[in-house]
Amino acid sequence: MNAQNPAASHGIAIQAVDLVKDYGTGDNTVHALRNVNVSFERGKFTAIMGPSGSGKSTLMHTLAGLDSATSGHILFGGADLTRMNDKQLTLLRRHKIGFIFQSFNLLPMFTAEQNILMPLTLAGDKPDRAWFDLLVETLGLKQRLNHRPNELSGGQQQRVAIARALITKPKLVFADEPTGNLDSVSSAEVLGFLKRSVNELGQTIVMVTHDAVAASYADRAIVFSDGRIVADEQHPNAEVMNELLMAERERTTRTTLTDTPADQMAQMAGVRNVPDLPITDAPLPPAVPTSGCEGTLRHARAAARHAR
């Protein structure tokens, strides 16, 4: 496929085209991403939600080049990430992509200012002091620059992590459960600063979260389930997002429960259309006393019917 990158003309920061990610092979294959087509607009705050195992984190990791795609394309900055080697991806992440994680990952022996500047220090680049001052002012860290991580609250540590992610002026920032380790007050504080970094600093943020309230801070929220996008909301609110998320969790639970151990045993035994019977704690029926594999097969069939 000759995929074209429309980012320059349509304001798209990054785009997935027919993106597939599989783990394992053969009967053990897990389809984490199923032909996903989605784009993320520049200068916008987008949330990705979904039940556990839905593929939302896999999507973020694949878009960021932290995990390889099985097939499809990832278009970013005029390039296709799926065609880059490890060195090219490392340089891309270093200079054009920022990361904010659930764990703050601050270096305990350094001050807040030193932690913020660490990406530039490691790259041997000089900081843009005007940009640094703007970040510090926007994130409310001016009075905390000489404090070490153990002298900061959780919310303050995450704000330092946000400043560190933005100090290189990345084209795109991925935030993976950025409020997962914070209380409700600190979470609201951090989410407010993320929103301000988009509205006032022109950043582009893609955030993975399980929290409907967190998603309500975004300009757009996508709900992921079973490796697919099942909802796409503009200007989301917490109530609607919570309803969508609960509906997907219930659907996923129902799907999982239909594939019971009885179904699996019946399939192994070659039984078709096993009737639904009441669940019972009664002992399994004894095996039919026949010899060889025929007796084993009869016992498996009986056990499957009973378990059902």
Confidence of residue 286 (pLDDT cuts 50, 70, 90): low
**Nearest alpha-carbon partner for 174 in 185, 186, 161, 157:** 161
In-domain check, residue 2: no
Domain range for 196 is 7-256
Give yes or no: residues 226 and 297 share one domain: no
By DSSP bridging, strand 97-100 and strand 45-49 are: unpaired
In-domain check, residue 196: yes
Per-residue pLDDT at 10: 47
Count up the domains in the chain and report the number. 2
In-domain check, residue 1: no
The strand ranges marked E within 126-285 are: 172-176, 205-208, 220-225, 228-234
Q: How far is CA 21 from CA 35, 50, 68, 226, 242, in A?
A: 8, 17, 8, 12, 27
The predicted model scores a pTM of 0.76
Give yes or no: residues 138 and 239 share one domain: yes
C-alpha torsion 247→17→237→171, nearest 10: 140
pLDDT digits 0-9 by tens, 126-147: 999 999 999 998 888 999 999 9
pLDDT at 187 over 80: yes
Query: CATH number, domain at 252?
Result: 3.40.50.300
In-domain check, residue 73: yes
**Nearest alpha-carbon partner for 45 in 249, 196, 250:** 196
Q: What percent of the chain has pLDDT over 70?
A: 79
Give yes or no: residues 162 and 109 share one domain: yes
| Mean pLDDT, range 114-127, rounded to an integer | 92
Give yes or no: residues 268 and 246 share one domain: no
Name the least confident of 163-167, 231-235, 258-262.
Answer: 258-262
pLDDT at 189 over 50: yes
Give yes or no: residues 90 and 212 share one domain: yes
Give yes or no: residues 74 and 142 share one domain: yes
Give yes or no: residues 230 and 265 share one domain: no
Give yes or no: residues 126 and 208 share one domain: yes
